[in-house]
Amino acid sequence: MKTKFIPLFFIFILASCHGTSAGPLRLWFDTPASVWEETLPLGNGRIGAMPDGGISRETIVLNDITLWSGSAQDADNPSAAGYLPEIRRLLLRGKNDEAQDLVYKTFVCKGKGSGQGNGANVPYGCFQMLGNLTIENPEVTAALDASVLQYHRELSLNEAVASCSYVLNGIKYSREYFSSFADDVVVIRLQSEKKGRLNLNVSFDRPERAGYKILPDGLQMSGQLNDGHNGPGMRYEARMKIVLSGGTVKYENNRAVIIGANEAILLIAMGTDYRNPDFESGLKEKLEKASRKSYSQLKKDHFRSYGKLFDRVDLMLEGTGRDDLPTGKRLLAFAEQPTDAGLSALYFQYGRYLLISSSREGCLPPNLQGLWANTVQTPWNGDYHMNINIQMNLWPAEVANLPELHKPLIELTKSLVGPGMKTAKAFYNADGWVAHMMTTIWGYTAPGEHPSWGATNTGGGWMCQHLWEHYLFQPDPEYLKEIYPVLRESSRFFSGMLIEEPEHGWLVTAPSTSPENAFLMPGTGKAVAICMGPTMDSQIIRELFSNTIAASKLLKADTAFCRELESKIYKLPPEQIGRQGQLMEWLQDYDEAEPHHRHVSHLYGLHPGNQITPGQTPALADAARVTLERRGDGGTGWSRAWKVNFWARLKDGNRAYKLLTHLLEPSHGPVNYVKGGTSPNLFCSHPPFQIDGNFGGCSGIAEMLLQSHTGVIELLPAIPGLWSSGSFRGLRVRGGAEVDLEWKDQLLCKAAIRATADNTFKLYLPKQATSPDLKINGKMQPVYQKDGILSIYLRKGDEARIGWN
């Protein structure tokens, strides 16, 4: 296609004029998408669309976050617990390889588990694409696509609207697309500048299990997925209503033929019968309601609902901003010279955008692909992996001021308690609930079909961290009452299942694994995964017990159980430093089978936990640093994102930034290669696309700007040299407050803390030339500080302003 010719010297002028990262938050391209990872993701937290901006033929992938094959099943292997004593006996004698043989035979789910990640037709199921919407332009052949002029395609994060426009034969055509937050339908407006020139064929399709119908005023596609037993599973439906201005539409051969229109508005409602047996009538109503509104009203309502979430946070990083480049090229330029501060700010806000678009209260948390999938068999079933991935998806929720979007994960966790109790009995003969490393919308809690990755049993314990963090960010006794039983019963499981290891008498999980990594057996050098008490398990359990104890004290409940946990917490293995100076991953100082393994699970205590901090446990923080050096700066997309957070927690801003540049490495190369990093549409690439890295990267940027996990607020704890001046508004801290900040040349200028709960907020005061002024609700206050920490008591609604002159 032809693009407008811009002289080279002009590009330089443009580039040097971009002195700030402020400006529209957008992704943009000057060509239609050539691969799915160049298409633009839209979603209202439940339903999504990814238009590719094609000219002769546009494909818009449609999604509904609830569309899963499979069904509830009993995957608990009833004979597993019978083998537990023997497995443990072998582990206690250091015969991990023999224990592993037995675990591999017995400590697996009943049935096919995840179907080796291909679970579309087994009971485990798979998150699937809903279908495609195709818009064909019969007047333009693919060969003519290249002759369009002024092609522009964009996703505005400020508005959650995608658009594309081009000039063909002298006529300008434009399209706009959004997934309405207000009306719960996808809206597409197609326009031609010249009256009567819109001629289009519009149709639905899906690779399998779809029936098509013509409605009096639109189209319908519906079907039913496999329940995993080759029986009737989940039902779904997409319905489209077309509203024309000028021209005519006729429906034939399962498509709508639009002739001579000035403008066409396509309204698409989608749904499934997941927890909603009568969903079809709801779809009809949504379409009726939306079609009674004008396009501008639909857009205004959408914008208002979306803005309530998105507009809570601003981030401005001064420096070069290369918004003048199309996003794919911007990534390539960043790989050459990573000075585009605006790209980091954009990536942060894109993380917030993606979370808003793929999670909403009352629905499901974002899965491995958020809510976007373009196939029936989504990689890894598009499920919820609980040994890092699903948790990473929600890391930005609290700090980036989207706490209500944490709730679907909290609800999912609650829903695992019932099935997890059965699993705890079947595998460990224990009380309480357990969930292993993966789950679905169907309440799967058993181990996976291969214990090397599927036997991790702290998945549920890790999920409990999220329930507690939501409380820490907004202390609310009613909410605490609601989640306490989930924490208590998870603690009950671990309290019952821990065993004493012989060397120190520490209480450890057995059998277990350090997620997906293996160690070399001393003597034989055989790679073995099965072990007792991997470091991550002990960290998760220590945190869980301590949160459960805190909750039980606040609620004045279960004193005896609380004492039981108190007596056990001190018997959990401490973190140990190995002979290389590294934080040990296992109880013994084993060598890793894969030294550069993508999981860095034993640093859970550094992030997302808070047991390792440079201030309080400096030796462990140093050991964590050695571990990170040894693991290296590469890895899958999400692994790089996690490392941004680790380095930020170690207060090394430049290293955190380096990892961010690795996360943003272009994943799609010129000769069809795909690797870990970031796709042209800024989707994180494992590869393939996996959304966790987007959320992990967003959280990592927040960790560089603001931390509160030690109970004391720290401003700019890990700011890289490149972000020497900037500002943010609306990030949240534990204790219940929003924080704004402005800084210049690495020095703080002013900060604001707005309390959302009554609390005493502690803040590290940086060493600056001048001491700060403090105003609360506009009134000057004396500054009391001890050991460089300022304490301010605020009531909900109060605002403290701190200024350095």
**Interface residue list for ligand FUC (CB under 6 A):** 368, 380, 385, 389, 453, 516, 598, 636, 638, 686, 690
Nearer to ligand FUC by C-beta: 109 or 315? 109
Contact 29, 53 (CB under 8 A): yes
Nearer to ligand FUC by C-beta: 96 or 639? 639
Nearer to ligand FUC by C-beta: 513 or 576? 513
Nearer to ligand FUC by C-beta: 636 or 756? 636
CB 296 → ligand FUC: shortest distance, Å?
A: 42
Q: What is the DSSP string of 13-42?
A: HHHHH--BS-S--EEEESS--SSGGGS--E
CB 598 → ligand FUC: shortest distance, Å?
A: 6
Q: What is the DSSP string of 289-306?
A: HHHTS-HHHHHHHHHHHH
Nearer to ligand FUC by C-beta: 380 or 646? 380
Spatial separation of the C-alpha atoms in residues 469 and 483, rounded to whole Å: 11
Spatial separation of the C-alpha atoms in residues 796 and 399, rounded to whole Å: 18
Spatial separation of the C-alpha atoms in residues 568 and 492, rounded to whole Å: 11
- Residue 798 has a CB neighbour count (10 Å cut-off) of 17
CB 588 → ligand FUC: shortest distance, Å?
A: 23
Nearer to ligand FUC by C-beta: 66 or 389? 389
CB 661 → ligand FUC: shortest distance, Å?
A: 21
CB 332 → ligand FUC: shortest distance, Å?
A: 25
CB 388 → ligand FUC: shortest distance, Å?
A: 7
Cα–Cα distances in Å, from 479 out to 465, 469, 786? Answer: 14, 12, 33
3-state secondary structure of 587: coil
Nearest to 586 by CA among 521, 633, 541: 521
Contact 774, 800 (CB under 8 A): yes
Spatial separation of the C-alpha atoms in residues 149 and 30, rounded to whole Å: 10
CB 76 → ligand FUC: shortest distance, Å?
A: 21
CB 261 → ligand FUC: shortest distance, Å?
A: 44
The residue with tokens 């090229």 is 329
Contact 783, 773 (CB under 8 A): yes
Task: For the chain, count helices (H), then strands (E).
Answer: 20, 37
Nearer to ligand FUC by C-beta: 500 or 594? 594
Spatial separation of the C-alpha atoms in residues 484 and 775, rounded to whole Å: 37
3-state secondary structure of 325: coil
Nearer to ligand FUC by C-beta: 106 or 378? 378
Nearer to ligand FUC by C-beta: 351 or 717? 351
CB 335 → ligand FUC: shortest distance, Å?
A: 23
Nearer to ligand FUC by C-beta: 26 or 597? 597
CB 638 → ligand FUC: shortest distance, Å?
A: 6
Nearer to ligand FUC by C-beta: 401 or 639? 639
Spatial separation of the C-alpha atoms in residues 544 and 464, rounded to whole Å: 7
Is the sign of the CA dihedral 481, 483, 489, 490 positive or negative?
negative
Nearer to ligand FUC by C-beta: 453 or 743? 453
Contact 361, 742 (CB under 8 A): no
Q: What is the DSSP string of 717-752?
A: TT--GGG-SEEEEEEEETTTEEEEEEEETTEEEEEE
3-state secondary structure of 41: coil
User: Within its chain, how far is the Cα of 134 from the centroid?
Assistant: 29
Spatial separation of the C-alpha atoms in residues 346 and 341, rounded to whole Å: 9
Spatial separation of the C-alpha atoms in residues 2 and 434, rounded to whole Å: 58
CB 157 → ligand FUC: shortest distance, Å?
A: 26
Contact 223, 235 (CB under 8 A): yes
CB 515 → ligand FUC: shortest distance, Å?
A: 7
